[in-house]
Amino acid sequence: MNPDITRERENATFNVEKLTHILDGGIEKTKRRREIESLVISDPDFQSEDLNFLSRSERYDAAVKKSAQMILKLREYGISDPEEIYCYKSVFRGNHQEALGLHFSMFLPTLYTQCNKEQFKKWVPLAESFKAMGTYAQTELGHGTHLRGLETTATYDPATQEFVLNSPTITSIKWWPGGLGKTSNHAIVLAQLHTQGKCHGLHAFIVPLRSMNTHIPLPGVVVGDIGPKFGFDEVDNGYLKLENVRIPREHMLMKYAKVEADGTYVKPPSAKLTYGTMVFIRSMIVGEASSALAKSCTIAIRYSSVRHQSEIRPGSPEPQIMDYQTQQYKLFPLLATAYAYKFVGQYMNQVYHRITGDISQGDFSELPELHALSAGLKAFTTWTASEGIEVCRMACGGHGYSRCSALPDIYVNFVATCTYEGENTVMMLQTARFLIKSYQQASAGHQLSGIVSYLNESERRLQPQSVSSRPTVVNVNDLASLVEAYKLRAAKLVEVAAKSIHQELQKRVSQEDAWNNSAIDLVRASNAHCHYVVVKLFAAKLGEIGDTGVHSVLSTLALLYALQGIQQHSGDFLQVTTTMTGLLSVPQLSQVSQRLKELLAQLRPNAVALVDAFDYCDEMLNSVLGRYDGNVYEHMFEWARRSPLNKTEVHESYHKYLKPLQAKL
């Protein structure tokens, strides 16, 4: 064990194991998670070659092999709980992707939630036995996040009681679904439903793609891999062109909407039910943001504790780079963010399951808020986490650029979340639409409930005041006061966006142009709303923690997270005024800056212990720089020597090109 990292752990002021239990949701969950992880780590079938040294075709082959092995192992061990399956998968895949990822995350969940009873009996057993291996085909070459613009058609033919699916244009070719290229034999296809001469918008259809016996594409199905990407080298993201593909009427998912035998369309109780799978995935992505950022912080903070560099005082030994305030300022706010997102992810998981339970009972009242919250938080967390992973990489200096650090793999695999399942700016605008509607309802005297209830009081509390008459109300040492400040900031920016739209409409522009001309304000409002939700949930989590040491260190993290947000968005907080007071004064910004420095110093002794509490074993991190024992350099040298280029002392290119070049010159 590296002595530097040993000393760091000895300096911790809290019990790491107790914090791990909080992150997992209890002692028993920690115990079970570790049992599942050990099943993978000790399994010789999963001791594969480093993927970084394989070609793309080899990486895909290895991923399919591991996915097939994983399915058999899950059956062998009797692991069927969705959370436990997710845990098992997260260990076996490490920082890479799995070949059957969309089968688990989108194909099966859509069948579970959108099949009627007869369809459920047929399709779920086929999917759970992997006879039907599926993906989710929504995005097209020409349209993605703008779902109404999708062009794939499903036209009902009452004479045969079949739907005829077509890709009528080049831009209507399905593009990007994971597992579509070579792996899946079925897809849930989102297509514009046409029946009795009328289009009824997007609906979901189960479309067979390949023979379940030979895996050869079926007639009319043109399918393949879209080629190398920024990341996801193990996944066959694919294209799909449908040429008069006929499927039975019963292949339309009909739990909510349906087409009768004669072609009569029966609409669903809520149009958003078609997008239930996306809401589920967006809710999951919030947790993925926490995980990716937590892994990155673990690597960067452990490495920063064993890396010595330069001098603070001339002639003194080179300090750990963690001792530099600038390094702390790079990493500790990101560590606080990872914890914040962990608690938000737990909240989203609980809310999703509660509201979907209500939906199954016919109560759709909270679906719009869930849709808006999942869209906004998906964008908010993935933007920050993507930037944070890159900060962690650069905080590791040159070695962070090496694939052995795992940070490049974490980044290229996570950054895709900013554009899949909804491009982030569009997601923010979807959240803004809900916020503006809620603001208008509150302004009309309706009492709002749920997470937007703070808009009920915005009209009477947010009034302009002269700067000279504004005493401050924010206590930078009190988290409850900071939560209030974030709430008022969110309310103010929602009001600003709503008034911007109103002003545009007064210019006699259309509603659509008014929206577009106010889009910057709308995105700012959604960002502020999401920021408030995260700070509020982090503060609320502290109320559940009884252990003094853990409560103290998490309170420091929460305060750091909230104050850094104020520093980053100081202009917003300076501008917000209330009926009696100003929210933030200019002198307070200096106070915020000073308090941030104090919090960095307070966290310094606990930094390594805080990343240890995430409890990522070395096999999951797969990072030389983030090793638990801190023995970085010897293992980095060992990793480099395994490069395929080192299999021979003289590479064949020398004899083919360089030696002839030397002879000619």
Residue 485 in tokens: 């400040």
Question: Would residue 369 show up in a list of annotated catalytic residues for this protein?
Answer: no
Give the helix ranges, DSSP H, for 415-465: 424-443, 458-461
139 is in an annotated binding site: yes
Give the gyration radius of the chain's Cα atoms.
27
Decide: 186 and 204 in contact? Cβ < 8 Å.
Answer: no
Decide: 106 and 204 in contact? Cβ < 8 Å.
Answer: no
Decide: 181 and 226 in contact? Cβ < 8 Å.
Answer: yes
> φ and ψ at 148, to 5 degrees?
-65, -20
Residue 512 burial (10 A CB sphere; 0-12, 13-18, 19+): exposed
- Report the alpha-carbon distance of residue 607 to residue 615 in Å, rounded: 14
Provide the β-strand partners of residue 217: 210
- Report the alpha-carbon distance of residue 384 to residue 336 in Å, rounded: 12
| SS3 (DSSP) at 436 | helix
Place of tokens 């016996």: 213
CB-hemisphere CA count at 13 Å for 286? 29
DSSP 79-145: ---HHHHHHHHHHHHTTS--TTHHIIIIIHHHHHHH--HHHHHHHHHHHHTTSS-EEEE--BSS-SS
Residues 6+ apart with CB under 8 A from 607: 8, 301, 304, 305, 322, 328, 331, 332, 335
Looking at residue 365, its amino acid is: S
- Report the alpha-carbon distance of residue 16 to residue 611 in Å, rounded: 9
Residue 467 burial (10 A CB sphere; 0-12, 13-18, 19+): exposed
| Annotated catalytic residue within 8, 37, 162, 421 | 421
201 is in an annotated binding site: no
Decide: 630 and 5 in contact? Cβ < 8 Å.
Answer: yes
What are the binding residues for FAD?
139, 178
Show which residues are catalytic. Answer: 421
